[in-house]
Amino acid sequence: AQSVTQLDSQVPVFEEAPVELRCNYSSSVSVYLFWYVQYPNQGLQLLLKYLSGSTLVESINGFEAEFNKSQTSFHLRKPSVHISDTAEYFCAVSLRGGSNYKLTFGKGTLLTVNP
């Protein structure tokens, strides 16, 4: 069975500082990788995903994540954060070629951006 580990439960940073949210996964088969974001009092929404091709994927609001197969990681980074990036971030995986379409989520990382 697959699993996802988010190494930090909380990450406080100051505005305009860089940030990295770490995600490692374990799976015996190839996976698709996702980052979801949950703003306060809202449901989750997709931030970015890696399906194939270039290992570096970007979101429209300046986040990026890099798939590292050898380290089974998919860390999320942003060079300069804003107050509005305060949210909980979830890393998730699904199995390639599987008939089971479920996502396995990490426990989440709460990013708090302070002025």
Query: What are the residues binding another protein (CB under 8 A)?
Result: 9, 32, 34, 36, 41-46, 49, 51, 90, 94-98, 100-103, 105-108
Nearest approach, Cβ of residue 114 and another protein (Å): 21
Nearest approach, Cβ of residue 12 and another protein (Å): 17
Separation CA 65–CA 69 (nearest Å): 13
SS3 of residue 83 by DSSP: helix
Rounded (5°) CA angle 74-12-66: 15
Looking at beta carbons only, is 14 or 107 nearer to another protein?
A: 107
Nearest approach, Cβ of residue 16 and another protein (Å): 29
State the greatest distance between any 2 C-alpha atoms of the chain, in Å, as a whole number: 46
Separation CA 31–CA 43 (nearest Å): 24
Looking at beta carbons only, is 6 or 73 nearer to another protein?
A: 6
